[in-house]
Structure 1
């Protein structure tokens, strides 16, 4: 007998309390050992339309719903008694008449039209009818996308207001296809299964149902929520993963659209396609690299030898490792040390009246970023994006300062991170065999100038060698620069993902107000947010400001308490603040809710039973059902400390942009509920969030 588990089971399991989950998992293990359920309380659901639905008692109030036939047992759902029965009574397992895929279909409830006598002519009050989204598609076309037969009329009647509500009633593959059609895309048509083919072997079915071959595999399925498995892709995502590119390629999309999943699968695809290839999967921080490593393990657990040819490492970490092998362990000069050297050198330069902030900015964004090593190079530097004009005579004075600092660093045996990558870029092409054949970079919007040079030096311009995933709207660390000038041109090989799987429609649409409808890079590549759509609804975000920090913490505490009383587990809650200075306000809110908290460090490891608190800069890669973003006061975000260091108008604009991106990142870590708060006067960004 085939023992299978449905995504609806793991989703419902995640909503239970810790003790309820343990009991449900124990029952699932018992059923795998003995599918007949001997010694267990198992009975048929007489009121269910599908006569193969059975109920299994987990505890006094928890029931597990299974679908059982002679050759198959499917774990479908688990919940409290009444809710579990109601779920089963509204579902049936069937084979789609066109695609041949197995589907759990919600039964269409027949609602008879009720005629109400009309006493007043209200024709002038009638609102204009909204455009029906799918009337131009035939029944055959909609069926080909996996829409169940009995839902065709509802799909034909759907407009932009009812689409999300309708999508929640349809099988996932059908809902995703409709959302893509509604946003101007052309979904890939699902395969059509041949006669006699097992409907559970269809690719669409394999995304929803998984065969559990042994106890270990079932344990893994129950340990990780379904959406953390990242095993099966949406067809549009699979196209990007498996396509051949004749140069560098990039996939973009707003938070929650699955860019990281695509990057992960792309790396695995390249390793499987070329049996001798070494693949680097990298990102900008150790924290995110650790998360990628965990997801990779879940993806290739049954082919572990594949992992021997895959290196999942943060960009700086791989740089240090290779630099140590080539030149010895590097000694880095930190930002504060360089700032002190610059200030001292400027004081000693005759005739130079230098702003310390401008000096550091010029060093970071021009001299160090582009590794300028001589006066002529600095004199002729285009200074991309810098609007502070420097006459040649003044540049000469500045170069005296920069040259002196470079010499002092050399004498001290210290380098910058940018210099490390520049030196590696010089030696990598000299290797007889490249250290990596393919490189995939996640969160590519925060890659640095010399890091990009380093990557190009390893793989050159070979087909499929470079693949990037990122979102310009989440750029919070790097100043923009031209990729094309370094030989990386993604024009024509850049695609945008529009369907958001992680964040509710209400949270996503409100967070998007922090950004423009389009974001473009220096080379003119445009990322549009106009067609973005979420696959599920949720409560409207709460955005409030308070008289003082104590009142804010008390109010957020009450909200957190309401969330946890409603079934949200403590580890499913995240609280973000702009910097470490505001952490006490977050801790006070969690305490007011009567909950325990953990302040996360760079390892970002959440702990069951504890609310996670951290700063916004560490939010990347995190996801919580419930998020509170606190202390969004004026002068905290955007940071007044950063504003005061702006060297010119362009840098001030850049600071405002990255601070907006930072708040956007924090808000989009929320799946279902979001609370954004401040002490008056609140940040101007909160007003942007509230704009319609």
Structure 2
């Protein structure tokens, strides 16, 4: 069965469910449930098949969601391969942020979301107004990770609140100064009738539920605090109400936080997928070297990444260090031409780089598509080349220079490792990793 799936057209392979995963599609849960697993274990396929299974009920209204519109569109394209038009009509597919914005507009009327740049501008003005002895970078994180995320509305709550997800202590006097800034910022937002994405979710959470009987979240490791609070309040008590699929080793967009603090308790209903059938043994083995054997969540939950079994073999990844970008691109193009001569279609090969600037620089110099590592999240290709793994690019030097303390440096290094892991594991059959000397320390670890 697996051999037939591997030989099938790519579109059919993309929705193939390994028999070992079927249990997680068919099983009923009396509360929020989650499957976790390393890249290649079929989490997204489980999510798709489970959505179709729940939508067999004529009364069901299923939300199948993920963290951005591109991934949501990919999920929507796959559904018709699994279900009839009638069943698909009971499944709403969309990026969670977009779903929340649409439902907020339907419930409360139109509202304008504040942009990141505008929020930083208003925060800077609030710091100047209150003369707070704190940097805009620190307060921007404190606002987004604590105050806005957890909907902290008054000084007493902020003073006593555990600063979940923050690794830097904040003495009482500085906390009081920070709160003065946040009050000024909140007043400025209200005066301009602007709302943050978090505020939209908090508004909905207080409005009495969502128009869905079930919600399935793919790439759930990157869900935000307000989004999870909203889902938990709406469907946390319903049978089969909430189902999450994710991998904390692929968390690249959000800071970690304890899920139980949002009211979503998954202990006893979290399962690990251990059969890797979407990447070759060789690619999995090299990629796993980028991450520790055990990843620990803020609530102490451990994801032990040992014991994963690959079910097919492939070519060993190619890892190279070059003396110039021109030499790297020339060798890469030869590799691509060799793949095409072996029957790979250009659409089945992808080149991944760390920054938009590198995309612009090399896109015209190779014969296959090029995108950033972040954009490739959740995608899958027969062959992937991850290039530009230079010392100052991965980890990205500009991010490290902005760090305020050792804790932030550690967090940046972890997310950069996760990002390279995500990029490398987009490949099913062939993987190329390269950089220009001096190369990334992450690449050196694999050589």
* Cα distance in 1, alignment partners of residues 152 and 439 from structure 2: 42
8 Å contact from structure 1 (residues 291, 621) kept in 2 = no
Report SS of the residue matched to 1:514.
Answer: coil
Structure 1 unaligned blocks of 5 or more: 1-5, 15-223, 596-610
Determine whether 1:295 maps to 2:78. yes
Q: Separation in 1 of the partners of 2:51 and 2:4?
A: 29
Residue of structure 2 equivalent to 1:428: 208
Counterpart-to-counterpart distance in 2, 1:241 and 1:561: 40
- 1:275 corresponding residue in structure 2: 58
Q: Which runs of at least 4 in structure 1 moved beyond 3 Å after TM superposition? A: 6-14
SS in 1 for 2:445: helix
Q: Which residue of 2 aligns with 1:331?
A: 112
1:159 corresponds to: none
Structure-2 residue corresponding to 1:247: 31
1:228 counterpart (7, 14, 26): 14
Larger Rg: 1
The residue number in structure 2 matching 1:355 is 135
Mark the CA change 1:254 to 1:11 in structure 2 (over 3 Å): closer, same or farther. Answer: closer
Aligned to 2:359: 583
Q: Helix, strand or coil: the match of 2:112?
A: coil
- The answer to whether the 8 A contact 1:545-1:679 is kept is yes
Deviation readout 1:316-359 (Å, 9 max, x if unpaired): 11101100011122311111212222222223323x32222212
SS in structure 2 at match of 1:439: strand
Aligned counterparts of 1:305 and 1:637: Cα–Cα separation in 2: 46
CA-atom RMSD in angstroms: 1.8
Aligned with 1:687: secondary structure? Answer: helix
Q: Tell me if structure 1 keeps the 8 A contact 2:63–2:93.
A: yes
CA distance in 2, matches of 1:522, 1:583: 35
1:8/1:488 Cα in 2 relative to 1: closer, same or farther (>3 Å)?
Answer: closer
Shift of 1:471: 0.4
**Partner Cα separation in structure 1 for residue 139 and residue 392 of structure 2:** 24
Are 1:305 and 2:86 an aligned pair? yes
* Structure 1 position 476, deviation (Å): 0.7
Name the structure 1 match of 2:379. 622
For residues 464 and 242 of structure 1, what CA distance do their matches in structure 2 show?
11
Following the alignment from structure 1 to structure 2, what is the Cα–Cα distance between the partners of residues 448 and 493? Answer: 20
Matched, 1:532 2:308: yes
Out of 552, 555, 571, the residue aligned to residue 347 of structure 2 is: 571
Contact 2:12/2:81, CA 8 A, preserved across alignment? no
Q: Which has the higher contact order (CA 8 A, sep 6+)?
A: 2
Change (3 A) 1:528 1:291: same
Alignment partner for residue 684 of structure 1, among 428, 441, 446? 441
Separation of aligned partners in 2, 1:428 and 1:633:
50
Does the CA-based 8 Å contact 1:387-1:649 persist in structure 2?
Answer: no
Using the alignment, how far apart are the partners of 1:383 and 1:399 within structure 2? 13
1:460 Cα offset (Å): 3.4
Instruction: Say how many residue pairs are matched.
Output: 447
1:493-533 Cα offsets, whole Å, 9 max, x none, are 11111111111111111011111111122222222221112
Q: TM-score scaled by structure 2?
A: 0.95
Structure 2, unpaired ranges of 5+: none
Confirm or deny that 1:386 pairs with 2:166.
yes
Separation of aligned partners in 1, 2:288 and 2:378? 18
SS across alignment from 1:428: coil
Change (3 A) 1:474 1:629: same
For the Cα contact (< 8 Å) 1:576–1:586, is it kept in 2? no
What TM-score do you get using the length of structure 1 for normalisation?
0.62
